[in-house]
Structure 1
Amino acid sequence: MGVHVGRPPRFSEDAILDAALDVLTDGGLDGMTIAAIAARLGAPTGSIYHRFPSKAVLLGRLWLRTVLRFQAGFLEAIGHPDVDEAARGVVGHLIEWSRTSPGEARLVAEHWNRPPGENWPEEMTARMSTVNERVDQAIDDYCRRRYGHATPENRYVVRFALQHLPYAAIHVFLLEGLPQPAHLRRVATETSLHALSLA
């Protein structure tokens, strides 16, 4: 008796999330429907519902994937043994990522702590609550390497210098779809390094 092997799914989870991101970027949250995502992907709506039982689940997974992709580069950069090079790397990563992945960058910029929408399943809410733990730990480690210890003031300065300032630098270009000026990375990096010296 032969073993029946099911056919692999035609549309991967990443392909569906990519289509959802395109729809969200073009039409906003109200325009992001399962039907619109299916049309963008060229798939039946049943293929979407097979992987994502609701729009809320799809949005949550899209947000989680986006945040984790961004964090991978952030964590690699901030771990550089030279603290100034680490800062340069973090700022450079944020600016380059926002230039090459504007849809994902907008999603994070507009919904930094929580994905858009509501009615998240309990297991997804739990994962969202812990998604920033590795970043928090990396910032504490950076504080200790740069200042000798991690205090509330040091943490604030590092977050201000390596998160808030670079995001402020790209915000208008990102949300209005404008090209980044050539000097943006240099100015943002120098500003962030100066802020780090104030702790």
Structure 2
Amino acid sequence: MPRPRVHDLEHLLDAAEQMAVESGPAAVTVRALSEATSVSNGAIYHAFGSRAGLMGRVWLRAAQRFLDVQRAAVDDASTAGFSSEAAVEAVVAAADSPAEFLLRQPVSGRFLLTVSRQELLGSGEISEDLAGEMRRLDRVLVELFADLARSVFDRADREAVTVIRDCVVELPTALLLHGRRTPDPAVRRRLAAAVRAVLAVPLPPARDTTPTTTN
């Protein structure tokens, strides 16, 4: 059976993503996707291996899109120079990226809030190659956290990277994504103020040089 063409694959991913957001992840079945796209069940299985493989590919694409938006925001903020203020604003930009992503690409953004990566990886139905690609994004995030820590604190030990992670992951989760609400300007301003306040607190002396990892 021939593999669907690249544009057909994108169409399948788009349709599955929309279906998960509108009706919940359980609504995304190979049969439902086939009916929605007029692509045969066999072609879908040939392209993705399983339903879990399909959902994993949708998740990976959405996550990569988010990381691209986040990295671009950090790079734009960093163009202001190498001052401490520019370094702080780069962290603010990274923290604000979930809000920006939800506004730019609402379907992909809501998919990431709806579908758990851990559940996908824990299903045992995803190929090792796909699971490895999904886990690889952890390293991308850790590298970003370490880069930001060096810019702000001139160090990238566990303590420094943990503070950056709190700013970029924990604060946005609490302020922007709690209840999966659409972020508004006031909430984004509060987040920016919270990030700046956290970064203004001096770090204790470094105890080790091992960056923390994501969950």
Normalising to structure 1: TM-score of the pair?
0.82
How far apart, in 2, do the equivalents of 1:112 and 1:45 lie?
Answer: 25
Aligned length: 191
From 41, 66, 78, give the equivalent of 2:74: 78
Give 1:160 deviation, angstroms. Answer: 0.6
- Counterparts of 1:130 and 1:182 in 2: how far apart (Å)? 32
For residue 108 of structure 1, the aligned residue among 109, 112, 121 is 112
Matches of 2:60 and 2:6, distance apart in 1: 23
1:187, 1:19 → 2: CA distance? 35
Q: What letter corresponds to residue 74 of structure 1 in structure 2?
A: Q
Check 1:109–1:52 CA distance in 2 against 1; reply closer, same or farther (3 A cut): same
Which contiguous aligned blocks of 4+ residues in structure 1 show a shift greater than 4 angstroms? 110-113
Aligned to 1:156: 162
Say if 2:167 is the partner of 1:171: no
Deviations 1:124-154 (A, max 9, x none): 2222222221221121121111111112111
2:29 aligns with one of 27, 33, 37 = 33
Instruction: Answer yes or no: is the 8 Å Cα contact 1:23–1:36 preserved in 2.
Output: no
Identity in percent: 23
Q: CA RMSD in A?
A: 2.6
Matches within 5 A, 1:1-199: 9=5, 12-79=8-75, 80=78, 81=81, 82-110=86-114, 114=118, 116=120, 118=123, 119-172=125-178, 174=180, 178-198=181-201, 199=203
Structure 2 stretches lacking a partner, 5+ long = 204-215
5+ residue gaps in structure 1?
A: 1-5
Q: TM-score, normalised by structure 2?
A: 0.77
> 1:103 deviation in Å?
3.2
Q: 1:156, 1:134 → 2: CA distance?
A: 15
Change in 2 beyond 3 A, CA 1:192/1:113: farther
- Asked if structure 2 preserves the Cα contact closer than 8 Å seen for 1:143 and 1:154, the reply is yes
CA shift for structure 1 position 110:
4.9
Cα distance in 2 for residues equivalent to 1:58 and 1:113: 13
